[in-house]
């Protein structure tokens, strides 16, 4: 989680990777909201990454954001998960201009997003009208195809994301500082373009069926 005021990061909280987010999310949210109250800076909107990602993680995150918007009567901005990961890395590493963000899609697949700083994080004062927080660059690739692409761009492209699909490149990948920072940076730009989501209508963008759905499809055919 993170609290941003413009481009300034006011506070951030990383959930423990050793615990289930279902048990750590609510306490962290309470800590963030208590801090906002103490500092006299109530939130003006809520932003969340709506996918791709793990099925359970997306459901918990999106449901929490929707509930918070409903309870506090705040607008909601949804952004692409891979774009958020890339935006956080680009914000932390000012010299990086091109980056690939990856997430483990499981069952031998990888979610891949390819981004450029100039198009993903344009100057807030001159955001192009066609800019979107869902750039549409996400691909679902077989692990073998992803590894081939990674080898071809070994020296020219920065990478970040899940350790497993990065393989040997994980040792020189840009670290994931706090994904929520990227969520906020993209949401601020999206809000300036009035790209809000209806809290009652937003659903996670899984981009692929679950294992159970795939098995059901196989049985029906």
- End-to-end CA, the chain: 43
Number of domains in the chain: 1
pTM score, whole prediction = 0.94
Note the pLDDT tens digit of each residue in 92-151.
999 999 999 999 999 999 999 999 999 999 999 999 989 999 999 999 999 999 999 988
pLDDT of the residue at 61: 94
Note the pLDDT tens digit of each residue in 63-95.
999 999 999 999 999 999 999 999 999 999 999
Integer CA distances (angstroms), 26 to 30, 68, 83, 119, in order:
6, 11, 25, 34
The total number of residues shown for the chain amounts to 221
CB 51 within 8 A of CB 113: no
Q: Which domain holds residue 122?
A: 2-220
Q: Which two tokens stand for residue 116?
A: 């450029």
* C-alpha closest to that of 6 among 125, 171, 155, 169: 125
Note the pLDDT tens digit of each residue in 161-219.
999 999 988 988 999 889 999 999 999 999 999 999 999 999 999 988 876 777 776 67
Check pLDDT > 80 for residue 17. Answer: no
């Amino acid at each position: 989680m993170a609290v941003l005021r413009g481009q300034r990061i006011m506070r951030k909280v990383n959930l423990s990777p050793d615990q289930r987010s279902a048990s750590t999310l609510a306490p962290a949210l309470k800590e963030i909201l208590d801090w906002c109250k103490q500092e006299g800076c109530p939130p003006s909107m809520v932003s969340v990454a709506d996918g791709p990602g793990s099925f359970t993680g997306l459901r918990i995150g999106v449901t929490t954001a929707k509930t918070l918007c409903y309870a506090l009567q705040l607008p909601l901005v949804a952004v692409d998960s891979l774009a958020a990961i890339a935006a956080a890395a680009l914000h932390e590493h000012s010299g990086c201009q091109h980056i690939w963000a990856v997430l483990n899609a499981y069952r031998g697949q990888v979610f891949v997003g390819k981004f450029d700083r100039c198009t993903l994080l344009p100057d807030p004062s001159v955001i192009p009208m066609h800019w979107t927080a869902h750039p549409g660059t996400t691909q679902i690739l077989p692990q073998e195809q992803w590894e081939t692409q990674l080898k071809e761009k070994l020296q020219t492209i920065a990478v970040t994301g899940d350790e497993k699909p990065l393989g040997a490149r994980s040792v020189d990948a840009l670290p994931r500082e706090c994904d929520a920072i990227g969520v906020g940076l993209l949401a601020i730009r999206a809000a300036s373009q009035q790209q809000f989501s209806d809290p009652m209508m937003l659903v996670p963008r899984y981009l692929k069926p679950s294992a159970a759905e795939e098995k059901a499809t196989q049985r029906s055919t």
